[in-house]
Amino acid sequence: MITSLHSLAQLIDNNASKETRALYMNLAKGVEKGIMFGHQDDLAYGVNWKYQKGRSDIKDVTEDYPAVYGWDLGGIEHDNQVNLDGVPFENIKSYVKEVYRRGGINTISWHLDNPVSLGSAWDTAKAVSEILPAGKLHHKYILWLDRLALFLNSLETDNGTKIPILFRPFHELNGAWFWWGRPHCTPQEYVELWRFTVTYLRDKKQLHHLIYVFNTNSFKDKEEFLERYPGDTYADMLSFDVYQFTAVDASADELRQASVKFQKQLQHNLQILIELSKEKSKPAALAETGLEGVPDPDWWTGTLYAAIKDFPIAYVLVWRNHGLNSENKMHYYAPYKGQKSALDFKKFYKLDKMLFQKDIEKLNLYQ
């Protein structure tokens, strides 16, 4: 018997706002309609441009916007004006509003600094145990959460409706690169950090417009995915991140081999994710993916779509189009006008199963 996800899906926040509940039900239902396409920082900048109103690299290529938009709040913990990638928080606020007005979806991650060393999120000095309720720096974490909550609470329409957010904190938790990663805290510590964070934001700060997205990096098996899972009453969605790593100057042969390898890993993980999604009645997503510089001209239909098309995930999001970075490297994951994979991206855009702005605005996701 097939029970559809949406008849059983239930938010962990019993007091979630009407719009948040509607979005969640639609996410659970939507998995039958197709896969929404998302892009990090899409409205803020692209390859070769910054802060141009209405612009988006995806729109330059397809004449349509993505359905899902990722934003990052790294830096909000210090009350900074701009995030870790230099995007002003005031801009993020207005992009979030614009997206909501158009019926799109906002998801937020948080590359917060290391609270012990004050280094970046990638500074792996031991920190999780220090910010838990019994730790010496707990008060600092509370201050940081207060600042985060203030910002999240400001994400509202002109008439005060809070804008639902897919919140994905402490992401890629089984990786080694972030201070909350697997080698740097025990499973119990991670779970306690997650549960404390949810409880504080939901019950103490009374934020009722958040949908909590649990997120790992690619993984070996179900056990690894669930090793640090906080429990069904602490997460609303299940997701993972996986990237294809291939040099931009790879030969056609190397690209083919890398594509096969990537698809294998991706499908192995999607299989497990979807099993768990059904078992737990929680919608699933491929929260981050991409191939930096997209050197494979058919990557979108030939690699990505071919691998994900049979899996009922709510969305797939590719990372940011920064452009040339400080190491003189082109750092981007979506095509821009004239980019090598732009033609294939147009084909990808036209696939029935891939959903962009024009497809989802009809769905009224918040009603």
Contacting residue, 85, 123, 156, 361, with ligand BMA by CB under 6 A: 85
Least Å distance between CB 269 and ligand BMA? 19
Which of residues 29 and 320 has its CB atom nearest to ligand BMA in the complex?
Answer: 320
- Distance between CA atoms of residues 298 and 7, nearest Å: 37
Contacting residue, 84, 276, 306, 351, with ligand BMA by CB under 6 A: 84
Q: Which pair of structure tokens corresponds to residue 123?
A: 């500074």
Burial 249-282 (b: 16+ CB within 10 A, else e): eeeeeebeebbeebbeebeebbebbbebbbebbb
Least Å distance between CB 256 and ligand BMA? 25
Which of residues 233 and 326 has its CB atom nearest to ligand BMA in the complex?
Answer: 326
Which of residues 19 and 72 has its CB atom nearest to ligand BMA in the complex?
Answer: 72
> By CB under 6 A, is residue 243 in contact with ligand BMA?
no
Which of residues 69 and 319 has its CB atom nearest to ligand BMA in the complex?
Answer: 319
Q: Give the x-and-dash track for 200-229 against ligand BMA (CB under 6 A).
A: ------------------------------
Least Å distance between CB 331 and ligand BMA? 6
Least Å distance between CB 232 and ligand BMA? 29
Contacting residue, 37, 95, 180, 319, with ligand BMA by CB under 6 A: 319
Contacting residue, 208, 228, 282, 320, with ligand BMA by CB under 6 A: 320
* Window 99-138: residues binding ligand BMA (CB under 6 A): 111
> Is the CB of residue 150 less than 8 Å from the CB of residue 205?
no
Residues in the chain: 367
* Window 53-82: residues binding ligand BMA (CB under 6 A): 72
Contacts of 282 (CB under 8 A, 6+ apart): 5, 9, 232, 235, 236, 237, 238, 276
3-state secondary structure of 21: helix
> Is the CB of residue 286 less than 8 Å from the CB of residue 166?
no
Number of residues that bind ligand BMA (CB under 6 A): 6
- Distance between CA atoms of residues 61 and 119, nearest Å: 38
> Is the CB of residue 235 less than 8 Å from the CB of residue 282?
yes
The DSSP secondary-structure symbol of 113 reads P
Chain positions contacting ligand BMA, by CB under 6 A: 72, 84-85, 111, 319-320
